[in-house]
């Protein structure tokens, strides 16, 4: 960790407290970690997963429940991958760790044409391998280092390119029901994690498989959100809060809401107008139907 003095040290302490508070709140809100859990912390060598492990290790000592951490890295056999960096770092921490060797690099390069995005297939292969390994070591939870910005970006990726409203949930049961995935950084901002990683001086390992690809769809979404934040600060957190405040009856998915059975019932008292207390972005409050003036337009009856 870089040496800090005065204001920089104070700023770092505030940053660390904020990140720990956000992680702790996410864990509590979604019951991510329970008493007796064995949490497999997936390390990619990037800033986010390093920060996740660092913060979870800090919380492990002060949490009101007992749980254990085991760090796992996957060596995908990328050419030039510095296989010694993570083991050396984890040895110093004194934490149980494993390096899983699986040549997914060759599979990705064989299946994906040159110039096309490799992230999708790469992540699926990596996920399948890690799920299987979690069972081998008796892990009850799998912790991934996705943060709030990742979650919002995924929402727009699915919206623009997949035609569906879906993001990354803070807690997920795998399709086969055999693993539970958690994202402790779900409430953390990427810029906070980036600053934290630089101060902590984590030994970052770049992803040579996809890191050099240009014009990735995620990068385009990231640039869009960055532009929005510059013109309207706080928009990203507002979008994230929307993911926590879903109204199925206000969408159009007939599998989530029974539109077919909707019927009128005028026997009871008039219900308050649904949006009476809402304020639109232009600052004008919605009014109930009774308060809204009715306008009629004369029409000529056709012969």
- pLDDT over 70 (residue 281): no
Buried b (16+ CB within 10 A) or exposed e, 64-77: eeebebbbbbbebe
Of 44-48, 206-210, 253-257, minimum mean pLDDT range: 206-210
Cβ atoms 134, 74 nearer than 8 A: no
Average pLDDT of the segment spanning 240-247: 97
Reference 81, options 69, 89, 71, 73; nearest CA is 73
Of 117-121, 188-192, 220-224, 260-264, minimum mean pLDDT range: 117-121
Q: Which helix (H) or strand (E) holds 231?
A: helix 217-231
Q: What pLDDT is recorded for position 297?
A: 55
Token pair 């302490």: residue: 13
Q: What pLDDT is recorded for position 101?
A: 85
**C-alpha torsion 158→159→163→166, nearest 10:** 50
Q: What is the pLDDT of residues 170-188, one digit of tens each?
A: 999 998 899 999 999 999 9
Residue ranges per domain, the chain? 11-243
Token pair 């992803």: residue: 207
How would residue 286 be classed by pLDDT, with cut points 50, 70 and 90? Answer: very low
Q: Considering the domain 11-243 in this protein, what is its CATH number?
A: 3.40.50.620
In whole angstroms, what is the distance from residue 116 CA to residue 213 CA?
A: 8
Average pLDDT of the segment spanning 205-220: 65
In whole angstroms, what is the distance from residue 201 CA to residue 5 CA?
A: 16
Instruction: Please tell me what DSSP assigns to residue 160.
Output: I
Q: What is the pLDDT of residues 132-167, one digit of tens each?
A: 999 999 999 999 999 999 999 999 999 999 999 999
Average pLDDT of the segment spanning 199-203: 95
Q: What is the pLDDT of residues 69-118, one digit of tens each?
A: 999 998 877 777 788 899 999 999 999 999 988 776 777 666 666 666 66
Q: Is 182 helix (H, G, I), strand (E, B) or coil?
A: strand
In whole angstroms, what is the distance from residue 196 CA to residue 105 CA?
A: 30
How would residue 2 be classed by pLDDT, with cut points 50, 70 and 90? Answer: low
In the chain, how long is the greatest CA-to-CA distance? 91
Q: What pLDDT is recorded for position 102?
A: 78
In whole angstroms, what is the distance from residue 37 CA to residue 80 CA?
A: 35
């Amino acid at each position: 960790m870089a040496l800090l003095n005065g204001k920089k040290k104070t700023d770092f302490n505030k940053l660390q407290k904020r990140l720990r508070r956000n992680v702790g709140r996410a864990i509590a809100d979604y019951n991510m970690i329970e008493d007796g859990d064995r949490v497999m912390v997936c390390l990619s060598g990037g800033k986010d997963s390093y920060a996740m492990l660092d913060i979870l290790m800090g919380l492990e000592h002060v949490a009101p429940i007992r749980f254990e951490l085991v760090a796992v890295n996957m060596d995908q056999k990328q050419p030039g991958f510095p296989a010694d960096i993570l083991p050396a770092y984890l040895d110093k921490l004194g934490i149980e760790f494993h390096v899983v060797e699986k040549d997914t690099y060759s599979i990705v390069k064989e299946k994906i044409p040159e110039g096309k995005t490799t992230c999708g297939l790469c992540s699926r292969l990596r996920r399948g391998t890690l799920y299987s390994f979690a069972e081998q070591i008796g892990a009850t939870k799998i912790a991934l280092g996705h943060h709030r910005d990742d979650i919002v970006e995924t929402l727009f990726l699915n919206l623009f390119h997949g035609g569906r409203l879906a993001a990354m949930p803070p807690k997920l049961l795998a399709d086969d029901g055999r693993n539970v995935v958690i994202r402790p950084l779900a409430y953390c901002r990427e810029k906070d994690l980036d600053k934290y990683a630089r101060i902590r001086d984590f030994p970052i390992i770049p992803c040579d498989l996809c890191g050099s690809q240009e014009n990735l769809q995620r990068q385009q979404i990231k640039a869009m959100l960055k532009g929005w934040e510059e013109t309207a600060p706080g928009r990203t957190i507002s979008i994230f809060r929307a993911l926590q405040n879903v109204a199925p009856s206000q969408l159009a998915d007939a599998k989530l809401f029974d539109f077919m059975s909707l019927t009128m019932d005028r026997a009871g008292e008039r219900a308050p107008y649904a949006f009476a207390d809402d304020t639109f972005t232009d600052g004008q409050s919605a009014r109930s139907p009774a308060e809204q003036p009715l306008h009629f337009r004369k029409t000529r009856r056709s012969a």
